[in-house]
Amino acid sequence: MNELQNRYIGNQILSMPVRVNQELSYAGKEFNKCSDYENITNYIDDFLEGRNINRFLLLPGIRDVGKTTLLFQVYEYLLKEKGISPQNILYFSCDRLKKLGKIDIFEVVSSYSQTYHNSILETLSEPIFILVDEAQNDEYWDLNGKLIFDASQNIFMIFTGSSALKLSYNPDAARRWLNIPIYPLTYSHHLKLKYCDFKNDISEPVVKMIFDGNMEHSKELNRRMFNIYSNFDAFDILEWKNFLQFGGFPSSFFMQRSEITKKIVEVVDKVVTTDMPDIEGIKDDTRYLAFQILNFFAFQNPGEVSKGSLANTFDASKSIITKVLNILEKTQLIFHIEPFTSSTKRTTKPHEYFFATSSLKHNLILSVGNAVGEDENAYMGKLLETYVASSFLNLDERSNIPYKTYYDDSKKKSSEKNVDFIVQRGIDKPIPIEVSYGKKDISQIKRAIRKYHSPHGVIISNTTSDIVKKGDIIFLPPEIFAFM
């Protein structure tokens, strides 16, 4: 580590207690905590109480989803609530270190241990906390993290970084860390950060309603949602629509719409131009292909897309199309769902692709041209479909039992349409899901209920402001579903 980097580390230790106060508020208002904060502080508590199994946390995520703010809040927790000395907390950004010389996280932490604790890592006698931001800027971040982890059980580490952290790493090193992906905000998390913290007592009843057909709490859910909204100061009645178009990123709270569009497009640009080059075999023409595919998905109506058709569209080999799609999924910009069919047939069928948040789709379109060049209900329906798909993915990620989402691939007559999604909890009966803005024909969901022997189906639509069940179909307003 060179002299400039040494000075930077020394300055970090001295200035962080003051800097945290400045970075965790805006216009005199302190930032609320994201949903991952409590989970992470619980691991810290376990470590301080001697239960130190999970003491290396990896937090990958799309740029600008709030990872740095989360690290600052963890620093504040250690300092103010756990009474840890600033000398025992090292926060540094590899992005900043990179501008001062070659980065070696292991060397930085070793030097810190010797300078501030008069000890090599192996003989540390008290707990220290290493908070590393933008870790992907160290080419060997994974192996360096492994070396630090193995050196002492008195070290607790958090590495954050862009989704490049998920693109390439050493499998042996990966056994040391606990991976906690940081996703774009859900609607309820958006409300918590923007307005005030609240208990989301809507999520569990909505999940039960969708998968069990349980209508026990249906009459209460509107009242509960109203109670949540009533605690917000200056609540915008268009918040839900604005969220679909511009939400998902905490920084959007303080920006004009044109600025949000610019910021989201910059996020996509940085993923493709900065993160992807870290992968062997990714060249300029491959990155250009990635931009083409992302714009194609932005303007495309939801539906299955074969890799062969993409290869023909962009005059590229099927193998390079497959490689680019796999990388884009690892960056967390997009994800796919598979057809509801046997596992053997599933491997040969096309996938449906969705953006991680509806605002990615909306703002990529805005950056090219007018987003609403068609019927507004149809357009908002596409954004809602993206949000519904990402919500079920989020449900699967946070649950102990699998909640899988598929698209309906059943054979049909030319005049018939398939439902948008088939969702399944564990080995339970599948539940067909239809999504719409505006009036929706129920014939396809009726057909899907019969086809899959489902106990009921769900239509997520803005045509009703209340939850109602007509026969074997539950009609669920999007704004209530969004609290799932």
What's at 465, amino acid-wise?
S
How sure is the predictor about 279, in pLDDT bands with cuts at 50, 70 and 90?
A: low
d(CA 60, CA 342): 32
pLDDT at 278: 63
The whole-model pTM stands at 0.90
Average pLDDT over every residue of 329-355? 90
For the cut 60, the answer to whether the pLDDT of residue 450 exceeds it is yes
The token pair at 304 is 């299955």
Backbone CA torsion sign across 292, 297, 300, 303: positive
d(CA 322, CA 325): 5
pLDDT at 480: 95
**Strand 89-93 vs strand 128-133: parallel, antiparallel, or unpaired?**
parallel
The token pair at 372 is 């609403």
Q: 31 and 20 in contact (C-beta within 8 Å)?
A: no
d(CA 36, CA 181): 9
> Residue 431: left (phi > 0), alpha (psi -120 to 50), or beta?
beta
Please indicate whether residue 280 or residue 300 has the higher confidence score (pLDDT).
Answer: 300
For the cut 60, the answer to whether the pLDDT of residue 371 exceeds it is no
**Dihedral pair phi/psi, residue 404, rounded to 5°:** -105, 145
How sure is the predictor about 110, in pLDDT bands with cuts at 50, 70 and 90?
A: very high
pLDDT at 71: 97
Quickly tell me which residue has 């999520």 as its tokens.
Answer: 203
Give percent of the chain with pLDDT exceeding 90.
69
> How deeply is 188 buried, as exposed, middle or buried, from its count of CB atoms within 10 A (0-12, 13-18, 19+)?
middle
How sure is the predictor about 374, in pLDDT bands with cuts at 50, 70 and 90?
A: low
How sure is the predictor about 267, in pLDDT bands with cuts at 50, 70 and 90?
A: very high
pLDDT at 440: 78
pLDDT at 296: 95
DSSP string covering 27-43: TTEEPPPPHHHHHHHHH
d(CA 52, CA 46): 6
Average pLDDT over every residue of 65-90? 96
Backbone CA torsion sign across 279, 281, 283, 287: negative
Confirm or reject CATH 3.40.50.300 for domain 3-182, answering yes or no: yes
Average pLDDT over every residue of 294-323? 93
How sure is the predictor about 325, in pLDDT bands with cuts at 50, 70 and 90?
A: very high
Contacts for 426 with CB less than 8 Å, ≥ 6 apart: 401, 402
pLDDT at 483: 94
The token pair at 181 is 């992906």
pLDDT at 342: 82
Three-class SS of residue 471?
coil
How sure is the predictor about 429, in pLDDT bands with cuts at 50, 70 and 90?
A: very high
Helices of type H across 213-306: 218-230, 239-246, 257-270, 284-299
Three-class SS of residue 214?
coil
Domain ranges (residues) in the chain: 3-182, 190-481
Give pLDDT tens digits for 179-219: 998 999 999 999 999 999 888 889 999 999 999 998 988 88
For the chain, the average pLDDT equals 91
Average pLDDT over every residue of 397-403? 91
Using alpha carbons only, give the angle 149, 151, 153 rounded to the nearest 5 degrees. 65
Quickly tell me which residue has 């598929």 as its tokens.
Answer: 406
What secondary structure letter does DSSP report for 135?
G
Q: Which of 101-105, 345-349, 428-432 has the highest mean pLDDT?
A: 428-432
* Maximal CA-CA distance, the chain: 77
Containing H/E element for 357?
A: none
Least confident of 165-179, 221-235, 465-479: 165-179
Measured from the Cβ of residue 374, the count of other Cβ atoms closer than 10 Å reads: 11
d(CA 88, CA 77): 13
pLDDT at 345: 80
pLDDT at 415: 64
How sure is the predictor about 308, in pLDDT bands with cuts at 50, 70 and 90?
A: very high
Give pLDDT tens digits for 115-169: 999 999 999 999 999 999 999 999 899 999 999 999 999 999 999 998 667 666 7
**3-state SS string over 298-360?**
HHCCCCEECHHHHHHHCCCCHHHHHHHHHHHHHCCCEEEEEECCCHHHHCCCCEEEEECCHHH
